[in-house]
Chains A and B, each alone.
Chain A
Amino acid sequence: MTNSFQDFAKAKLILAIGTNMTEAHPVSSSFVKNAVQNGADLIVVDPRRTGLAEHATMHLPIKVGSDIALLNSLMHVLITEDLYDKEYVKSCCVGFDELKAKVMEYPPERGAEISGIDAETIRKVARRLAEVRPGMLAYTLGITEHTCGMNNVLSCANLQMLLGNVGFDCGGVNPLRGQNNVQGACDMGALPNVFPGYQQVADAKARAKFEAAWGVKNLPEKPGLMMPQMMDGLLDGKVKAFYIFGENLANTEPDIRHVEHCLDSAEFLVCNDLFETETTRFADVILPAAGWSENDGTFANSERRVNRVRTVSKAPGVSMPNWWIFKEIAARMGHKWESSSARELWDNEISVLAPALGGIKYDRIEGDGLQWPCPTETHPGTPTLHRDGKFTCGLGNLVPVDWTPPAEVPDAEYPFVLSTGRRLYHYHTRTQTGRSAGINEILGEETADISAADAKALGIEHGEMIKVKSRRGEVTVKENITEQVPPGMVWMAFHFREGCANWLTNPVFDPVTKTAEYKACAVQLAKL
């Protein structure tokens, strides 16, 4: 996020696109709803009438995967009606002419045809966005989990820059990160192309720095594989050994049958985990790890805030912290590492090596955490990035992007769009929430959410078991009639192994980010 969660409560206008915040980021949504109570505009763009849409001043139920068409049309109106922030664009951004040429191809009428939102509404929204500034844009996986995910993100950024909304409190482009420490895992360099602190592995200077710090020579310069490529590597034999730390890939990745085939092909598979999972079935070695509240450490949240996590009890049996496990493997491969606590790792290695984290030390985050960039030990942290439109990388890049449809769209054989996501009560594959007393009682099984109209046409009663089938697989699942879902759409989650949406989802990826298209594939429904 360029901005902070507290900004939501104070915002004058919030454009929430592809974010089911009331379920996936409930506390964040409470701040958004507070803003609405205080008179803010809330514009929700989502195919479903989500919990957040219930509080919206305007809900735009776009067709699945039509975001760019809508955003380009909004920008078309801003430019043709001369409503964009010319001053800001001129002094803070580059690429306006190219962007203009592209969005001119998307008059509201064309946007309307693709997105299903009528042209007048598009004009109205654009004018409102120009009127109430700064406005905050928030998005979640509804934007990124598409084959055009990267372009969706660029398009959101284009809109906010055109409006001159980036670099101010209660403005900005705000992706809410899904998992508690996905921000942190990226910050730490658990990515194939960067060291901790986003220092490029391809950069010789960065390599020299880490070689010196880690006491090694010849750190590899070629960026590594992204996860979907690792999976394919297991199949074609390029990857022999696979190490999975704390992820249940066999349920979370698209097309479970394919994923399990990949995992089964590994010559040697190691898992660090808390429980046996569908994924650890394929392991050769399972290493038992300390879990949350069983070790000290830090998480980084979506607003780049590094927060402490503390120990209250010992892990069961001989389970050990993951950092210890990695350290022991390194030792057995001939490398003696010094740090022997999370605090030592952070204070003596991470914050020393990653410039943006340089000022964050354990003794500074006893209470509230600090938001990076925080380069020195007297720096207060950075709640808002690109302050006053001064972009960290110089000028803000306006990048023209075209709308492209999802890789698989409904046809005569598979006439419904399946879109997937999370529900409030469970987390991912339920390894944790499913074992927390009472939660299964509140939500005990997967459902396929469909509209009353479709249920009627198919002759299905509320709560009946139905078959949902895609080109990848099929599941039998309880059907749930809801006003949230429009006709033509099915919505499911991936919390339960039985009825998990990922038996059906399409393993196609954004070409750059390699994020899978969880939000769109084609399915058929049948009465049992």
Chain B
Amino acid sequence: MKNDIITLTVNGRDVKNLQVTGKKGQTVLEVLRGNGVYVPTLCHHPKMPPYGGCRLCIVEIENMRGLPPTCTTPAVDGMVVHTHTERVTRVRKTVLELLLAYGNHNCLTCEQNGACELQNLVYEHGIEHVRFKTDFVPKHIDDTNPMIVRDQNKCVLCGRCVRGCLQVQVNGVIDIAARGSDSYITTFDNKTLKESNCLYCGQCVQSCPVGALTEKKAKGMGRQWELEKVRTTCPYCGVGCQLNLHVKDGRIARVSAVEGALPNDGRICVKGRFGYDWIYSEERLKTPLIKENGGFREASWDEALNLVAAKFTEIKEKYGPDAIAGVSSSRSINEDSYQMQKLFRSVIGTNNIDNCART
């Protein structure tokens, strides 16, 4: 509808008196982002309800008092927004310095180095020294479970993990406890993740803007900028989640869910996220094997394939094609199944081909 359209005027980092349009019901941030106008954020995540906790997205809006956060402020027709005034930038810097002061951000070995939203913001604001001396006491690192490392010293209390767990995956395992600078993320009853009801979907890890939540198996597997992203499909259940494999030198360092992709829209489960490294197992078959005297011996492809072809031919000639039967894999790719049924129908000459469709 026409009168649903609203127009805002923006003065910002790269824009002057720019007219932008949005729809009634959107937040100021949504209108600005929708028009490609930059505003820094930290606690905001496009797929989660707004939280308004970090105060990085503050702006000045004419005829409004204070510095309203854009992520929770409804956009109103005619608003004039200033995203980068001196006052706004000063507050943002203070916020960032406080975050640094109340944490222990050792980027040198952090897995998130290079993909960290805090690091980017600090760089963008040119913060080289932290002016504040605080009574910060190092916090607890929970690495008792096999999958997820939680380093509270890097936590910026954005609450994205909590919303990811509760509102995206609807598992509700974690929450923010205590108040102010004493706040921390914890499970109910203050247990470690291992002792909690955590299902290791890793939505919290994927939601975390910093290195406070990381995959244990990714540790030391490669810096963020060395990793190449390869999109693929999860090999486990029939949902067919879209995964990004983060690969260094042909080896998977970690797995994440592809945001905005169908069908899973940025979500995966424990199997999709952590069930990948069997491909490197030492127990993988590496060569054809032929049974001999009750055991198996290694063989070349030629020997093994010739044996199979000869046996099939012999059995077909002796008993007819229907004496041969095959079961295809419901786990492997379409092209493999196609090829197997083609072998059975057009070469062997039987329709005795099935798959595990029933389990």
Contacts and interface: CB of A to CB of B under 8 A. Distances in A.
- Are A and B subunits of one complex? yes
Interface of A: 4-6, 24-28, 30, 33-34, 36-37, 55, 141, 144-145, 176-193, 195-196, 201, 210, 214, 216, 218-220, 222-227, 230, 233, 238-247, 249, 252-253, 267-268, 270, 272-276, 283-289, 291-295, 297-303, 305-310, 312-314, 316-323, 325-330, 332-335, 337, 342, 345-346, 349-350, 367-369, 424-425, 427, 431-439, 441-442, 513-516, 518
Interface centre among A186, A188, A316, A435 (most CB of B within 10 A): A188
Interface string B272-305: 1011111101011111111100001001010011
A317 B284 contact: yes
B103 interface: no
Given A5-B264, A224-B353, A189 B338 contact: yes
Given A182-B330, A307-B240, A369 B305 contact: no
B223 interface: no
B267 interface: yes
B116 interface: no
Contacts of B342: 214, 326, 330, 337
A179 B237 contact: yes
Interface string B236-280: 111111100101001110000000011111011111101111110
A432 B158 CA distance: 36
B315 A241 contact: yes
Nearest to B167: A37
5 contacts: A185-B357, A190-B354, A224-B352, A239-B324, A314-B250
B64 interface: no
B332 interface: yes
B308 interface: yes
B350 A184 contact: no
Interface in B3-45: none
Given A214-B342, A292-B235, A327-B339, A275 B331 contact: no
A322 B332 contact: yes
Interface in B323-353: 323-353
Contacts of B347: 216, 329-330, 333-335
B282 to A, nearest CB: 9
Given A246-B331, A328-B305, A287 B353 contact: no
Given A238-B322, A333-B313, A313 B263 contact: no
Given A196-B341, A270-B308, A247 B285 contact: no
Contacts of A183: 238
Contacts of B265: 6
B263 A303 contact: yes
Contacts of A293: 232, 235, 245, 252, 276, 279
A349 B286 contact: no
Contacts of A220: 321-322, 345, 349-351
B206 to A, nearest CB: 13
Contacts of B334: 181, 184-185, 187-188, 297-300, 306, 346, 350
Interface of B: 145-147, 167-170, 199-201, 216-217, 230-242, 245, 247, 250-252, 261-265, 267-272, 274-279, 281, 283-291, 296, 299, 301, 304-313, 315, 319, 321-359
A285 B307 contact: yes
A273 B232 CA distance: 21
Given A244-B327, A518-B359, A307 B290 contact: no
B336 A321 contact: yes
Given A141-B359, A442-B200, 13 more contacts: A178-B359, A185-B328, A189-B353, A191-B355, A191-B357, A224-B322, A275-B285, A285-B308, A312-B247, A320-B301, A322-B329, A368-B262, A427-B271
Pick from B237, B326, B327, B357 the residue with the most CB of A within 10 Å. Answer: B237
A180 B304 contact: no
B351 A345 contact: no
A369 B270 CA distance: 23
Nearest to B288: A287
A318 B287 contact: yes
A190 B353 contact: yes
Contacts of A434: 278
A227 B327 contact: yes
A302 B238 contact: yes
Contacts of A226: 354
A284 B232 contact: no
B335 A297 contact: yes
Contact of B263 (A6, A180, A276, A436): A6
A349 B338 contact: yes
A403 B15 CA distance: 70
Contacts of A287: 288, 304-305, 308
Nearest to A431: B278
Given A190-B340, A190-B341, A301-B239, A181 B330 contact: yes
Contact of A332 (B235, B245, B309, B340): B309
B311 A345 contact: no
A180 B343 contact: no
B304 A432 contact: no
Contact of A201 (B315, B330, B351): B351
Q: Which of B217, B276, B331 has the most CB of A within 10 A?
A: B331
A313 B251 contact: yes
A425 B199 CA distance: 8
Contacts of A284: 290-291, 307, 311
For the complex of A and B, the 6 pairs showing the least CB-CB separation, nearest first, are A317-B286, A301-B240, A297-B333, A438-B146, A246-B329, A224-B351
A369 B269 CA distance: 20
A94 B258 CA distance: 43
B162 to A, nearest CB: 15
Among A201, A252, A438: residue with most chain B CB under 10 A: A438
Contacts of B283: 275-276, 435
Given A34-B170, A226-B354, A241-B311, A178 B238 contact: yes
Contacts of B169: 30, 33
A61 to B, nearest CB: 22
Nearest to A268: B311
Nearest to A509: B358
Nearest to B252: A312
Given A37-B170, A185-B355, A185-B357, A243 B326 contact: yes
Given A243-B325, A299-B233, A369 B262 contact: yes
Contacts of A327: 339
Nearest to B215: A438
Nearest to B249: A313
Which of B275, B284, B325, B340 has the largest count of A CB atoms less than 10 A from its CB?
B325
Nearest to A324: B339
Given A222-B351, A230-B352, A437-B277, A310 B340 contact: no
